[in-house]
């Protein structure tokens, strides 16, 4: 029986890694925070020296990373407490709930994440979009940049919180001493700021907002497909291996 146990353990680890990789992919392709960062960097470079603009962009990155870390760690603790307090609960109903949520997010990403038109306007209300633009335009110091980075992704929590919950559940499937659990947690926490690091590098090497916006418009359909397909694959994996 030991080979079968090893096989099941290996399969479970691969499934966990697969779900987390898909979640990381989704987090990396969500565009509200990167779009805000690009807009903020454009305004900062027009108002301040290159050194000061780079300094402000670092604090924007720091704010975005701390928010992502806090949301993930809070979710992880809540999920861990829930699982510890209800060890005998049949979780199939909750699994089906998250399967439905993943399917809804898949359709939402495909149909509604971007507003109709040639630009890259997102699903957020125009009032929120104007508020974000106003804050990005008027950043003056490190604390302003930090707060903007920390809060601008709030409207996308509907897309990310279900991923935080599922990822927490999957990491908890692994033993707390499993070497993969800590590494997967770190990768997942860092993933949301990878696009920001890429944009920051582009701005530091002579690219401007127009260059980035052209790429965003060109990649809009691809982004929608990646988000939609990734959510859908997570739902399929949950149906196949977690029911």
**Tens-place pLDDT, residues 126-180:** 999 999 999 999 999 999 999 999 999 999 999 999 999 999 988 888 765 567 7
Phi/psi of residue 32, nearest 5 degrees: -65, -50
The per-residue pLDDT for range 186-203, each reduced to its tens digit, is 888 898 899 999 999 999
DSSP 3-state of 122: strand
C-alpha dihedral (126, 132, 136, 139), degrees to nearest 10: 140
Check residue 158 and give its pLDDT.
96
Taking the C-alpha atoms of 103, 99, 185 and 9 in order, what is their torsion angle to the nearest 10 degrees?
Answer: -130
Asked whether residue 21 carries a pLDDT value surpassing 70, the answer given is: yes
Helices marked H in 30-111 = 32-47, 50-85, 92-111
pLDDT of residue 87: 56
Local structure of 150: helix, strand or coil: helix
Closest CA to 150 of 236, 40, 235, 5: 40
Structure confidence at residue 175 (pLDDT):
65
pLDDT per position as a tens digit, 62-113: 999 999 999 999 999 999 888 777 655 567 788 899 999 999 999 999 999 9
Q: Token pair of 24, please?
A: 């990381």
Is 173 or 58 the better-scoring residue by pLDDT? 58
Residue 181 pLDDT level (bands cut at 50, 70, 90): confident
pLDDT at 5: 40
Checking if the pLDDT of 4 tops 50, the result is no
User: Residue 3: is its pLDDT beyond 70?
Assistant: no
How high does pLDDT run on average in the chain? 89
40-55 pLDDT per residue, tens: 999 999 999 989 999 9
pLDDT beyond 70 at 9: no
CA-CA distance, 166 to 209, in Å (whole number)? 35
Q: Determine phi and psi for 88, rounding to 5 degrees.
A: -100, 5
How far is Cα of residue 75 from the mean position of the Cα atoms in its chain? 14
Of 182, 240, 164, 170, which Cα lies nearest the Cα of 16? 170
Contacts 24+ apart (CB under 8 A), 114-117: 114/220, 114/223, 114/224
- pLDDT score, position 183: 83
Select from 106, 224, 225 the least CA-distant residue to 159: 106
Which pTM does this prediction carry? 0.91
The Cα 175–Cα 109 span in angstroms is 33
């Amino acid at each position: 029986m030991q080979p079968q146990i090893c096989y099941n353990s290996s399969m479970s680890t691969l499934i966990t890694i697969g779900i987390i990789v898909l979640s990381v992919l989704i987090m990396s392709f969500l565009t509200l925070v990167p779009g805000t960062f690009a807009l903020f960097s454009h305004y900062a470079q027009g108002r301040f020296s290159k050194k000061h603009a780079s300094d402000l962009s670092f604090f924007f990155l720091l704010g975005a990373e701390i928010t992502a870390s806090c949301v993930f760690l809070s979710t992880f603790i809540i999920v861990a407490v829930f699982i510890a307090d209800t060890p005998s609960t049949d979780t199939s109903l909750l699994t089906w709930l998250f399967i439905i949520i993943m399917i809804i997010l898949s359709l939402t990403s495909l149909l509604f994440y971007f507003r109709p038109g040639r630009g890259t306007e997102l699903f957020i209300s125009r009032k929120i979009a104007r508020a974000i633009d106003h804050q990005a335009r008027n950043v003056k110091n490190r604390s302003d940049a930090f707060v903007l980075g920390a809060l601008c992704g709030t409207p996308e929590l509907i897309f990310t919180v279900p991923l935080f919950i599922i990822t927490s559940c999957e990491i908890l499937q692994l033993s707390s001493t499993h070497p993969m659990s800590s590494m997967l947690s770190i990768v997942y926490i860092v993933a949301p700021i990878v696009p920001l690091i890429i944009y920051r590098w582009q701005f530091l090497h002579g690219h401007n907002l127009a260059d980035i916006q052209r790429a965003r418009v060109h990649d809009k359909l691809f982004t929608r497909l990646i988000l939609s397909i990734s959510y859908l694959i997570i739902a399929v994996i949950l149906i196949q291996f977690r029911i």
